[in-house]
Structure 1
Amino acid sequence: MEFVQISEHVYRLTYKIVVGIPVKINTWYVVDGKDVYIIDTGMEDYARTQLNAAKSLGVPKSILLTHGHLDHINGAKYLQEKLNIPIYSHKIEIPFINGEKPYPTKAEEERTGVEYQVEGLSDSIIKTLPIDVYLTPGHTPGHVIYHHKDDNVLLTGDLFISHAETLHPPIQKFTVDMNENINSGRVIDEIKPSIISSSHGEDVKYNDELYAIYKFRYE
């Protein structure tokens, strides 16, 4: 487990699980005064670690999801029960989180534990957040990323898998529409973040050729 500060207001918790091979799962905490926003919750097995990390930084305010896959939402039930805070995702993602229909890449619905407890990221909610929200469909229909404008840090969920200096697509079998996902990635050239932090991998410094190389290699 690694808990590091990646910018003035953004912290990253990294945990490894083994699913045949070791896989990194990154979740984040955005600090705004005394308030702490939890970005994704990872797996239930380390939800207690998530809780302690959030409390060490301030007062947990809400949970913000990039999407509803279990390695991003599985700890939400425990955190909500302990903290009594709201959970938000894009409204497009909510039917999948509720189990009303399965993700197109899965044969049946997954139990998230927070069915009918996740609220949509309405404009009024987004205005209260210290981060901007961008819809980036492809990996899932309602996948979003979060940008801390002051720190210029972009939290990209499963839009990419990242290595030290390169970006790669998410795993094909869990991705609804890979072409759409790759097209969604062009948002990094609009935002031009200093740091790109993905859910699976290492933080990457942005440069003007990063997306062009990614698109050429994988489209």
Structure 2
Amino acid sequence: MEFVQISSHIYKLTYKTIVGIPVKINTWYVLDGENVHIIDTGMKAYAHTQLNIVKSLGIPKSILLTHGHLDHINGAKYLRDNLNIPIYAHEIETPFINGEKPYPNKAEKETTGVEHQVESLSDNIIKKLPLDVYLTPGHTPGHVIYHHKDDNVLLTGDLFFSNAESLHPPIRKFTVDMGENINSGRIIDEIKPSIISSSHGEDVKYNCDLYPIYKFIYE
């Protein structure tokens, strides 16, 4: 397990777990004055660690989800119950998280533990955040990424997997529409972040060749 500060306002917790296969999971903590926003919650087994981290950083304000897959939401119930803070996701994603319908590539509805407790990211909520929110469908219909403009750091969830020098697509069996996901990745050339931080992998320094190479290989 590793806990590091990746920019002036953003901290990252990294740990390895088994989700069918061994996988590295990153979750983030974004400071906004005294307030702290949690970006994704990872697995329940690490929720107590997250609880201690967020309390040490400031006043817990909200949980912001990139999407509703297990490895991003499994700790949400524990954190919400112990912190009494709201959970937000994109309005396209909330029906899948809230157990109203299954993802298009799954037969069963999700069991998240926070069914009917996740609110949509309305314009009024987004205006109060220290982050810009971008819809990046493909991995899931309502997948989003978060951009901290002041630090110019992009938190990309499962839009990409990454290593220190390149981007790769998410696992195909968990992705609703891989072609749409790859097209959504073009957003990095509009934002041009200093750092791309994905949920699974290492942080990548942006350069203008990252997306064209990714698209050429995987499209």
Bin of the TM-score, shorter chain as denominator length: over 0.9
User: Partner of 2:174 in structure 1?
Assistant: 174
User: Partner of 1:101 in structure 2?
Assistant: 101
Runs of at least 5 residues in structure 2 that lack an aligned partner in the other structure = none
Rounded Cα–Cα distance in structure 2 between residues aligned with 1:127 and 1:172: 34
User: Partner of 2:150 in structure 1?
Assistant: 150
Rounded Cα–Cα distance in structure 2 between residues aligned with 1:28 and 1:104: 28
Write the mapping of 1:71-110 to structure 2, written as runs, cut at 5 A.
71-110=71-110
After superposition, what is the alpha-carbon deviation per residue over 1:52-97, rounded to whole angstroms, capped at 9, x for unaligned?
1111110110000000001001100000000000000000001100
User: Partner of 2:204 in structure 1?
Assistant: 204
After superposition, what is the alpha-carbon deviation per residue over 1:165-191, rounded to whole angstroms, capped at 9, x for unaligned?
000000000000000000000000000
Give the paired residue count. 219
User: Partner of 2:189 in structure 1?
Assistant: 189
User: Partner of 1:67 in structure 2?
Assistant: 67
Rounded Cα–Cα distance in structure 2 between residues aligned with 1:62 and 1:101: 25
Rounded Cα–Cα distance in structure 1 between residues aligned with 2:105 and 2:46: 26
**How far has the Cα of 1:22 moved from its partner?**
2.3
**How far has the Cα of 1:15 moved from its partner?**
1.2
Structure 1 residues 19 and 127: alpha-carbon distance in aligned structure 2, compared to 1, 3 A threshold? closer
Rounded Cα–Cα distance in structure 2 between residues aligned with 1:39 and 1:20: 23
- What residue identity is the alignment partner of 2:86? P
User: Partner of 1:128 in structure 2?
Assistant: 128
After superposition, what is the alpha-carbon deviation per residue over 1:134-170, rounded to whole angstroms, capped at 9, x for unaligned?
0000000000000000000000000000011000000
Tell whether the 8 Å contact from 2:40 to 2:72 is kept in structure 1 after alignment: yes
**How far has the Cα of 1:19 moved from its partner?**
4.1
**How far has the Cα of 1:21 moved from its partner?**
4.0
Runs of at least 5 residues in structure 1 that lack an aligned partner in the other structure = none
Percentage of matched positions with identical amino acids: 82
Structure 1 residues 69 and 19: alpha-carbon distance in aligned structure 2, compared to 1, 3 A threshold? closer
Rounded Cα–Cα distance in structure 1 between residues aligned with 2:71 and 2:212: 29
Write the mapping of 1:111-122 to structure 2, written as runs, cut at 5 A.
111-122=111-122
TM-score, length-normalised on structure 1?
A: 0.99
After superposition, what is the alpha-carbon deviation per residue over 1:2-34, rounded to whole angstroms, capped at 9, x for unaligned?
100000000000010024642100000000110
Q: Determine if the alignment matches structure 1 residue 5 to structure 2 residue 5.
A: yes
Tell whether the 8 Å contact from 2:19 to 2:71 is kept in structure 1 after alignment: no
Rounded Cα–Cα distance in structure 2 between residues aligned with 1:174 and 1:20: 11
After superposition, what is the alpha-carbon deviation per residue over 1:75-120, rounded to whole angstroms, capped at 9, x for unaligned?
0000000000000000000110011111112220121010111100
TM-score, length-normalised on structure 2?
A: 0.99
Rounded Cα–Cα distance in structure 2 between residues aligned with 1:195 and 1:56: 25
Runs of 4+ residues over 2 Å off in structure 1: 18-22
Rounded Cα–Cα distance in structure 1 between residues aligned with 2:211 and 2:64: 25
User: Partner of 1:47 in structure 2?
Assistant: 47
